[in-house]
Amino acid sequence: MENVKTGTTTVGIVTKEGVVLATEHRASMETFIAHKVAQKLYKLDTNMGMTTAGLVGDLQVLVRYMRAEISLYRLRRGALMPVGAAATLLSNILNERKFFPYYVGLIVGGYDNKGYHVYSLDAAGGAIEDKYASVGSGSLFVYGVLEDRWKDDLSLDEGVNLAIRGITAAMKRDAASGDGISVATITKERGFEDLSGEVEKRMKKMKLK
């Protein structure tokens, strides 16, 4: 199962109050649903998180690499690693493996002294910063929702609802995405917070169920 290919939907959104990261839970092997509780949203540090899409084995290795490097940075410098530095580090790790690339699509999001950031990364090591990003087989459906509803002055609460709305749209149309939603916010005041327990309540309030 370490080589399970995850058909996935993940999203990262920058709001005026923080960053929102969200994923669904399904891991698939072509038409076979391999897992219904796959973890695709990870805390890297108090100021940063990552969403993952791709081969499970590759993803788990990369999360371990990043956590170790970020911890070492914090120990050596006595400060949190900037989000851009983490994205560059991850980009370099991906780019070094040219002949047998990591089969992944990633989003890194969080805050530093320059503000809130979201970066999307591809398997070749390309890293692009944007106000919102979606990665995975259901990303086209998410982008349809984001293009229609995202705005510059989006609040954190609105961002959480928008992420849930986007993932829900993908789960309705992408057979490789489903089985629940994980959501986390990252703010300067509260750090990394898992809000997955609020998803059902928010979906009912938005009449998505």
Q: What is the residue range of 178's domain?
A: 5-205
In this predicted structure, the answer to whether residue 2 has a pLDDT above a threshold of 60 is no
> What is d(CA 16, CA 187) in angstroms, rounded to the nearest whole number?
10
- What's residue 38's pLDDT? 80
Confidence tier at 127 by pLDDT (50, 70, 90):
very high
Q: Is residue 4 over pLDDT 70?
A: no
Average pLDDT in the 185-192 region?
A: 96
Q: Nearest to residue 118, comparing CAs of 40, 25, 194, 18?
A: 18
pLDDT > 50? residue 23:
yes
**The model's pTM:** 0.92
Q: What residues are labeled active site?
A: 8
Q: What percent of the chain has pLDDT over 90?
A: 68
Best CA proximity match to 48, nearest among 94, 92, 80, 8:
80
Gap between the Cα atoms of 180 and 152, Å rounded: 28
Count of domains forming the chain = 1
What CATH number is attached to the domain comprising 89? Answer: 3.60.20.10
Q: Is the pLDDT of residue 34 over 90?
A: no
Q: State the average pLDDT over residues 160-181.
A: 88
Q: What is the pLDDT of residues 103-125, one digit of tens each?
A: 899 999 999 999 999 999 998 88
Residue with tokens 């999001």: 109
Query: At residue 107, what are phi and psi to the nearest 5 degrees?
Result: -130, 130
Structure tokens at 98: 């040219």
Report the chain's mean pLDDT, rounded to a whole number: 90
3-21 average pLDDT score: 84
User: Which letter, b or e, does each residue of 126-149 get, where b requires 16 or more Cβ atoms within 10 Å of its Cβ?
Assistant: ebeeebbbbbbbbbebbbebbeee
Write the burial class of residue 171 (CB in 10 Å: 0-12 exposed, 13-18 middle, 19+ buried): buried
**Confidence band (pLDDT; 50, 70, 90) for 32?**
low
On the question of pLDDT at 198 being above 80, the answer is: yes
Span 55-71, pLDDT tens digits: 888 999 999 999 999 99
- Whether residue 182 contacts residue 160, with contact meaning beta carbons closer than 8 Å, is answered with no
Name the strands in the sheet holding 132-135, side by side, starting at the edge strand that comes first in the sequence: 132-135, 10-14, 19-24, 181-187, 191-194
Distance between CA atoms of residues 10 and 26, nearest Å: 11
Note the pLDDT of residue 33. Answer: 72
Contact predicate 86/146, CB 8 Å: no
